[in-house]
Structure 1
Amino acid sequence: MLTIRFDMRAPSFGAATTDLYAAAIDMSAWAEQHGCVAAVLCEYHGSEDGYLPAPLMLASAIAARTERLMLNVVVILPFYEPVRLAEDIAVLDILSNGRVSHVFGLGYRPEEFEHFGLDRSRRGVLADENLALLRTLLTGRCIVHDGRRITVTSPSRTPGGPVLMWGGASLAAARRAGRYGLGLLANGSVAGMREAYEAASREHGHEPAGVLLPPPDTPTVTFVADDVDQAWEEIGEHLLHDARMYAQWNPDNHASAGISAARDVAELRTAYTSHRIIDITEAAEIIAGGGFLNLSPLCGGIPPETAWPYLRRAGDLIENLTTTRGSSQ
């Protein structure tokens, strides 16, 4: 199966933002018809290459063009006013007919907290306060909070509100997810995360929910190519830009978060697994073994006309494998 991920990076040597955003919506609609089960939309702020700052808005546009595709939206919780966030989540749940889940995180880049005028040392407190109010509001109940009567209308389409999870790549993130009684969706893993999550869940009276802990060598970006060498020539600089930006933001966290410290395209290709270009045979083996291809077709601002053949190749592979399995039964 396929997942598709968009962060909308648009470095100066990449495609125009208008082209990238239009392509993300078109690609999501196409991917839904070709074996893609979910689109993941990420969030950062104040990035020099235009990283997506408003994932709920893009999710709304994609939801309007799709019917079955699940949407997984990353939300940096301390940056949001919880009443307005509850309203936005509720409306998105209605627009998508309940297809959107939300993965919350604390945020970590000092520049982002400066961007919002927030004290980074209070991010945990802010997240706790925001989540408590948000979850109550998403139930649709009218509440009194700080002397205010608050009701989110219209209520979510999903009874009790949509699926909420916690994300991260640390033991602290695992414990926080358990304390909140949320599922854990990690963007990397370190030893003991599952155990820490389950212990924290039970300590706070929750049964552990769903957990997704990818192995440390799981690629975050995958492309399927006819000619792998040619593909690295064509899109390698875009992948390197993506890797370098994450490395700048995580200078001491390369191993645990699966982030590459590659200095050039050759090193990214040979020494790291974060960004991979594979041929059709390897892609077919991954899918046949029950694995996922985590696609990021516009990675590093790849022009849509360059990106489309890679996406179509992966989608056609899924279609061919499905047809073959069907005819053999």
Structure 2
Amino acid sequence: MLFSIRFDMRAPAFGASTTDLYAAAIEMSAWAEQHGCLAAVLCEHHGSDDGYLPAPLVLASAIAARTERLLLNVVVILPFYDPVRLAEDIAVLDIISNGRTSYVFGLGYRPEEFEHFGIDRSRRGALADEKLALLQDLLTGREVVRDGRRILVSPPPQTPGGPTLMWGGASLAAARRAGRYGLGLLANGSVTGMRAAYEAACREHGHEPGATLLPPPDTPTVTFVADDVDAAWEQIGAHLLHDAQMYAEWNPGNDTSAGISAAVDVAQLRDAFTSHRIIDVAEAAEILGKGEFLNLLPLCGGIPPDVAWPYLKRVGELVTDLTTTRGSNK
């Protein structure tokens, strides 16, 4: 398993239609499972002008129904959910996916999204704590009594105790929250001291530290593999730039999160930033040969599926070649 695929379903006006993009995401996931892909990651935002995926559990269910082994990782902005209904949805998806779905929870940060849901942004931390505690109890499958209410998630998740839950963020507070609740920590950027803060919080609250992923800010979050890198930038560069500029607009002044780029044009995105990269086959082979992953966003910025497929299939061909070579050397 040598790469992951991520979908955020951005569909700017100059890109493909949402109908085509959603159909392609499901088909690509089914194809990727057969060609060395470890996991599909589904992200969440709301009220975005370009249609960023607002319902990742729905898309995850569609992908789960088309796959058998592919792991699914769903990003959930917890303050926006009713924890009882979310627990029920997670339980059903755990059954549909046969225990292949994990979750990364986050606080959310865009003021427009809190306005969208009528939630006071200043209360997001308190809301997350309140909802996370109840959610964890509900996913055990046991009846929970809370504020005089008797709550039972039925059917329970297939996974004993519920699926894997992680907390995401790029702050010491995020690290401490993950440790307090015994979750793994998945950072979208690395702040000094996060690992120590996480492990200390785990110990303080009686938990063994779990999985951690703390990438440095220059970690590429979007990778394409092409035979002709110059031609590829010409063909899909505008889509990659749209993705980069939207995240930069949402994160003004943020230089700690992986994937944030201040590029003003395609040339600058290519030459001055590491967030979005197009590499040739030789470099991709070197990366995979070292046991490192390629993080793919095959429909980045609404790339039309007929344009996106050859790039994805090029990775599949490369994985097949590497696998064959390794097998012949045994």
Asked whether the two chains share a fold, i.e. TM above 0.5, the reply is yes
Q: Describe the SS at the equivalent of 2:261.
A: coil
CA offsets, 1:291-323, max 9 Å, x none? 000000000000000000000001110111001
Give the superposition deviation at 1:23.
Answer: 0.1
Give the superposition deviation at 1:142.
Answer: 1.1
Give the superposition deviation at 1:15.
Answer: 0.1
Whole-angstrom distance in 1 between the partners of 2:160 and 2:111: 37
Whole-angstrom distance in 2 between the partners of 1:65 and 1:77: 27
Query: 1:181 maps to what in 2?
Result: 182
CA 1:42–1:256: 2 relative to 1, 3 Å:
closer
CA offsets, 1:256-304, max 9 Å, x none? 4440000000000000000000000000000111100000000000000
Q: Describe the SS at the equivalent of 1:254.
A: coil
Query: 2:158 maps to what in 1?
Result: 157
Q: Describe the SS at the equivalent of 1:157.
A: coil
Whole-angstrom distance in 2 between the partners of 1:215 and 1:54: 28
Across the two proteins, how many residue pairs are aligned to each other? 329
Whole-angstrom distance in 2 between the partners of 1:263 and 1:24: 28
* TM-score for the superposition, normalised by structure 2: 0.98
Percent identity over paired residues: 81
Q: Describe the SS at the equivalent of 1:165.
A: strand
2:244–2:259 contact (8 Å) kept in structure 1: no
Whole-angstrom distance in 2 between the partners of 1:159 and 1:257: 33
Structure 1's unaligned 5+ residue stretches are none
Whole-angstrom distance in 2 between the partners of 1:89 and 1:312: 31
Query: 1:122 maps to what in 2?
Result: 123
1:297–1:311 contact (8 Å) kept in structure 2: yes
Whole-angstrom distance in 2 between the partners of 1:285 and 1:244: 29
2:7–2:25 contact (8 Å) kept in structure 1: yes
Query: 1:200 maps to what in 2?
Result: 201
* TM-score for the superposition, normalised by structure 1: 0.99
Query: 1:33 maps to what in 2?
Result: 34
State the one-letter code of the partner of 2:262. A
State the one-letter code of the partner of 2:130. E
Whole-angstrom distance in 1 between the partners of 2:191 and 2:155: 40
Query: 1:233 maps to what in 2?
Result: 234
CA offsets, 1:236-255, max 9 Å, x none? 00000000000000002134
State the one-letter code of the partner of 1:104. F
State the one-letter code of the partner of 2:19. T
Query: 2:18 maps to what in 1?
Result: 17
2:217–2:255 contact (8 Å) kept in structure 1: no
Whole-angstrom distance in 1 between the partners of 2:144 and 2:206: 24
Structure 2's unaligned 5+ residue stretches are none
Query: 2:92 maps to what in 1?
Result: 91
CA offsets, 1:4-36, max 9 Å, x none? 000000000000000000000000000000000
CA offsets, 1:206-234, max 9 Å, x none? 11111011232210000000000000000
Give the superposition deviation at 1:180.
Answer: 1.3
Question: Which has the larger displacement, 183-192 or 261-270?
Answer: 183-192
Give the superposition deviation at 1:124.
Answer: 0.5
CA offsets, 1:89-134, max 9 Å, x none? 0000000000000000000110000000000000011101111111
State the one-letter code of the partner of 1:185. L
Q: Describe the SS at the equivalent of 1:153.
A: coil
2:170 matches 1:169: yes
Query: 1:317 maps to what in 2?
Result: 318
Matches within 5 A, 1:93-112: 93-112=94-113
State the one-letter code of the partner of 1:180. Y
Whole-angstrom distance in 2 between the partners of 1:90 and 1:214: 30
Question: Which has the larger displacement, 138-147 or 310-319?
Answer: 138-147
2:288–2:294 contact (8 Å) kept in structure 1: yes
Query: 2:145 maps to what in 1?
Result: 144
Whole-angstrom distance in 1 between the partners of 2:191 and 2:220: 16
Query: 2:246 maps to what in 1?
Result: 245
RMSD of aligned Cα (Å): 0.8
Query: 1:284 maps to what in 2?
Result: 285
Whole-angstrom distance in 2 between the partners of 1:190 and 1:25: 35
State the one-letter code of the partner of 2:108. G
